[in-house]
Amino acid sequence: MRTITMKGNTMTKTLKYENTANIGDTIKAYDFARYGEKESYIQGIVVDKGQCDDKYYVCYKIKLTKRLVGGDDVTQKTIDAGADVWYVPFETNDDTWNVSTDIKKIERVTKVKEAA
């Protein structure tokens, strides 16, 4: 939740993907910078949520379980390089765009599996 103060008035706003998942759930986050190419996304188990580590934004901290770049599975290569923890912001400037294909709308962050 973001708090905004303007001219002495305080408002709170729930960020777009803030309530998508909880700790233990598995999420998928698309990379729209590569939109129009083959699928690019990260997927992982949420290990923390909110103000994580030294990030200046609120996010999901995930343990990587899958990474596709341009349709190619690069999960093991990414983990072997030491990049097994990723951060997914609750909201970005790109979230205001309605990204869709001819068939369905694509949400940037989705819950894939609920915690056991």
The pLDDT assigned to 10 comes to 81
38 and 9 Cβ atoms separated by less than 8 Å: no
pLDDT tens, residue by residue, 59-69: 999 999 999 98
Against a cut of 0.75, is the pTM above it?
yes
Distance of CA 76 to the CA centre of its chain: 20
Instruction: Evaluate whether 63 touches 84 at the Cβ level (below 8 Å).
Output: yes
